[in-house]
Structure 1
Amino acid sequence: MTLNQSEREKKIIEILMREKNVNVNNLKDLLKTSISTLRRDLIALESTNIIKRSHGTVSLLQNSNIEFAYATRRQANEDIKNKLCRKASQFITDNSAIFLDASSTLSFLPKYLSNKKNLHIITNSIHIALEVNYLNNIDLSILGGKVAFESGAVLGGKALSDLINYFRPDLSFLSCSSINEHGIFMADEEQNVLKKAILHYSKQAILLIDHTKFEKKDYIILSNFKDYNINKIITDIKPSEEICQSLKANNISLVTI
């Protein structure tokens, strides 16, 4: 089956998230496409600062200070994110107030909420808010403030003030940029400030983290595992023994899909 450009770009990102650095000819073979078509796709991705081409190889530019465009991040590991959100929905009970952060991972959760009753969803994501708005069983609130370019995350002082002054979620779902045995990290300072507040003002919190974020360390720390409101981490593959020991020492349960 011939892939369209969007599907090819999605596969390129998925391959690079696994391999980190790939020869162009090998990438052509993996995609079963022509070198000219692949070149156009790579130029398009490079123009958005997602990849870097160098001497016949391609690498991903996902380092400590680069945020992917929302649509691109949402496509990466789409199947895993769906499974994480399906599992996460099992911990949501009727008649509760739930916060969903603006991560691409959580954008897959709303479709698993249609059978819930009397939920109140709070979010700082315009994308998630639009999806939740189609569900007539849910009362929706969105934080006010500055909308971040491309990600659709509502951030800044107004969003923080809305959260602090008006909301006390029963349960919050968050994601992060990376995790290792020393803590949970973010790549964006404004997102980190809001997520810290979410952890503080929520009764409980669950993190959704896929295996591509293991054993990495961005420069902004979200949690050193001692935030007692972090109750669970849901992931697709069991992390290293060092990470597991840190979670166990801080009474954070690990759920694998």
Structure 2
Amino acid sequence: MNLVSMKRHQSILNKLEEQKYVEVAELCKELNVSAVTIRKDLKFLEEKGLLHRTHGGASFENPYINDRSVNEKEKIRVDEKSNIALEAASRITENDSILIASGTTVQALARAIDVTEKLTVITASLNVALELIRFKHVDVLQLCGYVRHSSSSVVGNQAASILENVSCSKLYLGVDGIDLEYGLSTTHLEEAQLNRKMIEAAERTIVLADSSKFGKKSFGRICSLDDIDEIITDSGINKALIPRLEERGVVVTIVAK
């Protein structure tokens, strides 16, 4: 390997250190080399265990997500999730009817809700329902179906059939991965299918995701970025992703740490 290649590899790693995720097209422009050269560089660095290649780019972290229990995930990035939840809760209005999916960030949303007027909530999450029963003026419709032990949420045709007969102003959606090409994803295929039904039943879809979810993908694809309206995230997001998301019509709201 020559000195030019070594310098290029170091430049790639430096950019990854700064942004956590890089794209092939961006590296081509910055380093003034072809896409073929960059892909060879990324393959070499991946073989050395220095990064993980993704579709169209690379990241330090493995982009493929395995299923973990909600009890484990709720202990991760607690402050970021709480701040995202507070911002999301500010969107809820009097006499609103909303959908809340599953996951630890939307569970934090349920804890952050503080309403004095009537609110109707439809949710797949048992934990969300338990958080909201403290309010006498909040009507909670718990979707029925098979309960996933890892997420404490329901999936299945029974839950999906209920959603065919409702319309809500907003869906608050938690995800396991956000990828510019692959879209939104979760670790469970049936959960992804139920989330798609929720999107169809909502006028507006708001994704609650901390910055670690970007550049990740999982087994169950929920939808493309074109199907959502807003992402609420924290300041750790790679700033280069923001204009790319906005080009797709997604409003990006960043909360302070």
Q: TM-score, normalised by structure 1?
A: 0.70
Question: Which residue identity does 1:111 align to in structure 2?
Answer: R
Post-superposition CA distance 1:198-257 (Å, at most 9, x none): 111101110011011111222432222121xx2210000263355323321222110000
Q: Where does residue 27 of structure 1 map in the other structure?
A: none
Q: Is the 8 A contact 2:63 2:216 kept in 1?
A: no
Question: Which residue identity does 1:175 align to in structure 2?
Answer: G
**% identical aligned pairs:** 24
Q: Is the 8 A contact 1:114 1:137 kept in 2?
A: no
**Secondary structure of 1:87's match?**
helix
Q: CA deviation at 1:132?
A: 0.5
Q: CA deviation at 1:88?
A: 0.4
Question: Which residue identity does 1:123 align to in structure 2?
Answer: T
CA distance in 1, matches of 2:93, 2:142: 20
Q: Which has the higher contact order (CA 8 A, sep 6+)?
A: 2
CA distance in 2, matches of 1:137, 1:197: 26
Where do 5+ consecutive residues of structure 2 fail to align?
1-60
Question: Which residue identity does 1:112 align to in structure 2?
Answer: A
Q: Where does residue 28 of structure 1 map in the other structure?
A: none
CA distance in 1, matches of 2:238, 2:217: 14
Q: CA deviation at 1:76?
A: 1.2
1:118 to 1:62, Cα distance in 2 relative to 1, 3 A: farther
Where do 5+ consecutive residues of structure 1 fail to align?
1-60
Q: Where does residue 203 of structure 1 map in the other structure?
A: 203
Q: Is the 8 A contact 1:100 1:121 kept in 2?
A: yes
Q: Where does residue 213 of structure 1 map in the other structure?
A: 213
Q: Where does residue 10 of structure 2 map in the other structure?
A: none
1:151 to 1:62, Cα distance in 2 relative to 1, 3 A: farther
Specify the structure having the higher radius of gyration (Cα).
2
CA distance in 2, matches of 1:217, 1:132: 30
2:244 to 233, 242, 246: 246
Q: Where does residue 119 of structure 1 map in the other structure?
A: 119
Post-superposition CA distance 1:95-152 (Å, at most 9, x none): 1101111111111112322234111011011111111111122111111111112321
**Secondary structure of 2:175's match?**
coil
Question: Which residue identity does 2:245 align to in structure 1?
Answer: L
What is the aligned length? 194
Q: Where does residue 158 of structure 1 map in the other structure?
A: 158
